[in-house]
Amino acid sequence: MLLSTAAGCDDGPDLTGPLPCFTPTELDTLVEVVPCRHSHEHDLRHVRIFADPEAAAIYRRCVLRGEPCDEPFPPGALFVKREYDRAGCHEDEFVSLTATRKLAPGALPEGYDWRWQRLTPEMRVTDDGAPLVCLRCHVDHCSPPDGYELRCTPD
């Protein structure tokens, strides 16, 4: 479970910029799909990845087990990647998070219908939209057999 209080959400979001693409309540319902691991792809940080329960089931089937899939992630599917500077991925030590929310088909073609945000531990949005380098990497490396719908395998 990803606790919003551990992220400082009890003070409320920063209303001077874009709002997070999720609510604190949603964070509390996410399940871990990738446990703590070193990620050479993400600024050499350690990461943990969480998803809403329905998206987690699809991720486990289509990405982790590599089963053939033809069902897309549904609109509203949410993934949250917590990034840590140190091994161990202790709850109170994450330095940033990236959230991706699946949109309706055709809603954001340039982002493959995924909304991307980078946030601080205090839930302030610092980037709203997929950085081109991230999008290119996910397009090139997160398709079968190495992923599904821009969601990568943890290797």
Q: Return the pLDDT at 89.
A: 94
Q: Which domain holds residue 15?
A: 5-152
Q: Which residues, in sequence order, are bridge partners of residue 90? A: none
Q: How many domains does the chain have?
A: 1
Q: What is the CATH number of the domain that holds 109?
A: 3.50.70
Instruction: For the chain, give the mean pLDDT.
Output: 83
Share above pLDDT 90 across residues of the chain, in percent, rounded to a whole number: 52
Q: pTM here?
A: 0.83
Query: How is the beta sheet containing 45-51 ordered, strand by strand?
Result: 31-39, 45-51, 78-84, 94-102, 114-119, 125-128
List phi, psi (to 5°) of 31.
-120, 150
Token couple for 51: 């998803």
pLDDT digits (tens, 9 = 90+) for 12-49: 555 678 999 999 899 999 999 999 999 866 566 899 99
Residues in the chain, pLDDT under 50? 1-10
